[in-house]
Structure 1
Amino acid sequence: MKKLTLWGYYGFGNVGDEALLDVCLSLMKDVKVDLVCGPMPSVKVSEKLSIVPRSPENLYKSIKSSDGFVLGAGGLIHERAKPLGTYYHLLGPFISKYSRKPYCAIGQQIGPFQRDLTKMLAKKALEKARFITVRDNASQVEASFLGLETTLSADLAFLLNPEDPSGEIKKTIESMPKPRIIFAPASYMKETPSPEFCAKVLGKIISLTGGSLIIIPFFQGKDDEFGEKTEALLPPGRVLRLKSPVDWRDAFGAFNLCDFSVPMRLHSVIASSLACIPALPMPYFQKVRSISSEIGYKTMVEKNDPDWEQKCLSFLSTSQNICQQTVLLSKEMRKRAEITAKLMEDFIGGLERTA
């Protein structure tokens, strides 16, 4: 049986990335996999799955002993304040390229970039990939500027079918009065709305609906701190704050039990879409704006947005239309994600035919 090395942002307590890992492994069920990941993997070693501690040396050894390499999925090739994370993720494609190993990049966000060096490295690392799928239109435009040929797909989380969360979490959420609003915070950079501003927006929606609020962390540690600060500013008795660690299945499934969503993290936006509930995103980064818009969540509250009250009113008054639109658009995104699944099938088939 052939073996692939899988390299992404796995094993660091990020709910969205662990959900992507589950999808990626489902696309690789016919091969053995070396998962190069951080200290908190959400999966267990099996006959076909090896967990390799994340380091450049271990990555090199794994690729050299594998039949192919997969980068992804997720937002791995872009820049914020520091480019080191991007350079680190590009090690895998570079090693594969110069080791003459077949490789691909799946469900990627490409860009935005701030430095010419990063653009050059991304182009050089990926130019020999068997295929590259990107998860949004903006990434395809960025890739074309680099001279990279890509296929428009979607975030691979759209291939998930989240069920309700496990018993205790489900029981706790269902104890809260309806309508339930679910809030997934994101503690990031200067673009992130503050806990104080988030509390104003959430308090307004609670007041207008007469409902309750569920706060759920998608990133262990950072989101818990943000959620705790926000909770302290909201009416007592109306807020349930879940604490890390939260299994990705429970996190995504929690959205099935709620009526409205105020997501900050990208995969909480996608979880809202999969649950077919209206969402009012509070984006902290361009990728959240881009994909939110593509799935019908076009009204967003930005940091210190002067029109936030009007946007809350508009969101609630048009929630039924938002639901109808996002149901259709989510189905379209799933079809797009299936493009990556088919290309992965062909990629693995090509390895099997290689002596």
Structure 2
Amino acid sequence: MKKLTLWGYYGFGNVGDEALLDVCLSLMKDAKVDLLCGPAPSVRASEKLSIVPRSPENLYKSIRSSDGFVLGAGGLIHERAKPLGTYYHLLGPFISKYSRKPYCAIGQQIGPFQRNLTKMLAKKALERARFITVRDNASQVEASFLGLNTTLSADLAFLLNPEDPSVEVKKAIESMPKPRIIFAPASYMEETPSPEFCAKVLGKIISLTGGSLIIIPFFPGKDDEFGEKAESLLPPEKVLRLKSPVDWRDAFGAFNLCDFSVPMRLHSVIASSLACIPALPMPYFQKVRSISSEIGYNTMIEKDDPSWEQKCLSFLSSSQNICQQTALLAKDMRNRAKVTAKLMEDFIGDLERTA
């Protein structure tokens, strides 16, 4: 059985990335895996899975002793303010390239970029990859500008089949009156709508529906602070706020118990579509806007949006149509994500045949 090195942003408590990790490992079930991981792994070591502390030295050692390398799914190859995270993630492809190890990149977001240096490094790191799958159209366009050949897939979270959350979380959510609105905040840079503005929007939806609000953090720390601030501005009897750490299964499963969603983070948008509930995204970044549109969530509230009240009314009045459209589009995205699954199967098969 061949051994692969898996490298990405895993083991840091980010709900979306831990969900992607689960999918990545399922695609590598026919190989042994070295998982380079942060301090809070959501998986356990086993006979086929080794959890290796994340560091450049350990990455180098793992790649040298592996048969192939996988740059795991997520938003790894882009930059907004600081490019250091991108450079760090490109270490894996660079080491693989110069060690002459077969490598690939799956379910990637590529771009946007601000610096020519970052573009050059991304091109040099990925130009010898056996294959690259990207999760959206914008990433494929950015990659083409770099001269990289990519295959359009989808975010690998579309391959998930979320079940209901744990008994404790389910009981807490079901104690809240219906209809339930689920809100996943995102505290990120200046593009993010403020907690005060979000509270106005959420308060309006609660008032119009007579329902309750579930606040769930997808990233520990700042998302908790953001959620706590929004909660303080809303009627306490109408709000249940879950606190980090939240297992990704509980986070995705919580959407199955709710009726409406106001997502800010990308994977809370995807969780809404998997639960087939209408969502009113409040995006903080272009990737959230683009994928929201691709799955039928076309009404969005931007930072300090002057027409936010009208959009709330429009969203609620068209919620049934949104569900029907999203169910079809999410199925299409799932089929797109299966492209990556097939390429990974072939990648591992090729390694076995060259033994």
Fold conserved (TM > 0.5)? Answer: yes
Q: Report the alpha carbon displacement of residue 44 of structure 1 after superposing the two structures with TM.
A: 0.5
Residues 278-312 of structure 1: CA deviation (Å, up to 9, x unaligned): 00000011110110010000111111111111111
Instruction: Among all aligned residue pairs of Structure 1 and Structure 2, give the percentage whose two residues are the same amino acid.
Output: 92
Residues 22-55 of structure 1: CA deviation (Å, up to 9, x unaligned): 0000000111000001000000110000011011
Matches within 5 A, 1:122-271: 122-271=122-271
Q: Secondary structure at the match of 1:81?
A: coil
Count of aligned pairs between the two proteins: 355
Looking at structure 1, the residues matched to 87 and 125 of structure 2 have their Cα atoms a distance apart, in angstroms, of 10
Q: Secondary structure at the match of 2:72?
A: strand
Residues 72-126 of structure 1: CA deviation (Å, up to 9, x unaligned): 1010000111000000000000000000000000000000111111111000100
Looking at structure 1, the residues matched to 285 and 62 of structure 2 have their Cα atoms a distance apart, in angstroms, of 33
Residues 167-214 of structure 1: CA deviation (Å, up to 9, x unaligned): 111011001000000000011101011100100000000001010000
Q: Secondary structure at the match of 1:298?
A: coil
Q: Secondary structure at the match of 1:69?
A: strand
Looking at structure 2, the residues matched to 144 and 317 of structure 1 have their Cα atoms a distance apart, in angstroms, of 40
Give the corresponding residue for 2:354.
354
Q: Report the alpha carbon displacement of residue 354 of structure 1 after superposing the two structures with TM.
A: 1.1
In structure 2, runs of 5+ residues without a counterpart are: none
For normalisation by structure 1, the TM-score amounts to: 0.99
Residues 223-258 of structure 1: CA deviation (Å, up to 9, x unaligned): 111100110001120000001111100100000000
Looking at structure 2, the residues matched to 21 and 226 of structure 1 have their Cα atoms a distance apart, in angstroms, of 26
Q: Secondary structure at the match of 2:62?
A: helix
Q: Report the alpha carbon displacement of residue 68 of structure 1 after superposing the two structures with TM.
A: 0.3
In structure 1, runs of 5+ residues without a counterpart are: none
Q: Secondary structure at the match of 1:244?
A: coil
Q: Secondary structure at the match of 1:237?
A: helix
Looking at structure 2, the residues matched to 280 and 88 of structure 1 have their Cα atoms a distance apart, in angstroms, of 34
Q: Report the alpha carbon displacement of residue 274 of structure 1 after superposing the two structures with TM.
A: 0.0
Q: Report the alpha carbon displacement of residue 351 of structure 1 after superposing the two structures with TM.
A: 0.5
Q: Report the alpha carbon displacement of residue 220 of structure 1 after superposing the two structures with TM.
A: 1.1
Looking at structure 2, the residues matched to 325 and 279 of structure 1 have their Cα atoms a distance apart, in angstroms, of 12
Report the more deviating stretch, 217-226 or 103-112.
217-226
Looking at structure 2, the residues matched to 315 and 113 of structure 1 have their Cα atoms a distance apart, in angstroms, of 33
User: Do structure 1's residue 331 and structure 2's residue 331 form an aligned pair?
Assistant: yes
Looking at structure 1, the residues matched to 347 and 77 of structure 2 have their Cα atoms a distance apart, in angstroms, of 21
CA RMSD of aligned residues (A): 0.5
The list of structure 1 runs, each at least 4 consecutive aligned residues, that deviate by more than 3 angstroms after superposition, is none
Looking at structure 2, the residues matched to 328 and 17 of structure 1 have their Cα atoms a distance apart, in angstroms, of 25
Residues 114-158 of structure 1: CA deviation (Å, up to 9, x unaligned): 111111100010000000000001100111111100000000000
Q: Report the alpha carbon displacement of residue 221 of structure 1 after superposing the two structures with TM.
A: 1.3
